[in-house]
Amino acid sequence: MLIRVDPARPDSLQDQVAAAVRRGIAEGQVTAGDRLPPARELAQSLDVSIHTVLAGYQKLRDEGLIELRRGRGAVVRAGAHAGRTGVAELVRGLVVEARRHGIGDDELVELVRTAL
C-alpha cells in the first residue's frame, strides 16, 4: 500500500495518513485481514512522529475500518469494504469544505441531519 503525505498541504499529517489508508482500502491495495505497516516502521519510513501515525490509525479505528490490537498491530476489518470507505472519504471532504466556508462543527452536523 502506498502512503503519501506532504507537510506543505493544509490538512494535518495524521489526516493525510488516514486518508492514504482509506484510499488503499477503497482501491483494494489492502483487503480485510491484511496488516497495515507497524506504526513505528511507517513513522520511520515517512520521517514523521510515531504519534502522528498512531493518531491516523486511531481515526481509522473510530471509523470502523481497522482494528488496533496490542501485539497484532493494525488489521483491516472485515466490514471495511470499498463502499463504506468511499462514504468515510466523502464525509472527510465534507468537513474540510465546511470549515473552509466558516461553517461551525455543530452547524454542519445540523445540516447533515436535515438532509437525512
Cβ proximity to another protein, 9 vs 91, nearer residue: 9
Q: What do you get for the CA distance between the two ends of the chain, in Å?
A: 34
Query: What grid cell was written down for 37?
Result: 505497516
Write down the least CB distance from residue 43 to another protein, Å.
10
Residue 72 in the binding site for another protein (CB under 8 A): no
Cβ proximity to another protein, 47 vs 106, nearer residue: 47
Write down the least CB distance from residue 47 to another protein, Å.
6
Residue 37 in the binding site for another protein (CB under 8 A): yes
Cβ proximity to another protein, 38 vs 104, nearer residue: 38
Rounded CA-CA distance 36/54 in Å is 12
Contact 92, 59 (CB under 8 A): no
Rounded CA-CA distance 100/70 in Å is 37
Residue 71 in the binding site for another protein (CB under 8 A): no
Residue 25 in the binding site for another protein (CB under 8 A): no
Q: Give the alpha-carbon dihedral of 96, 97, 98, 102, to 10 degrees.
A: 100
Contact positions toward another protein, by CB under 8 A?
Answer: 1-8, 29, 37, 41-42, 45-48
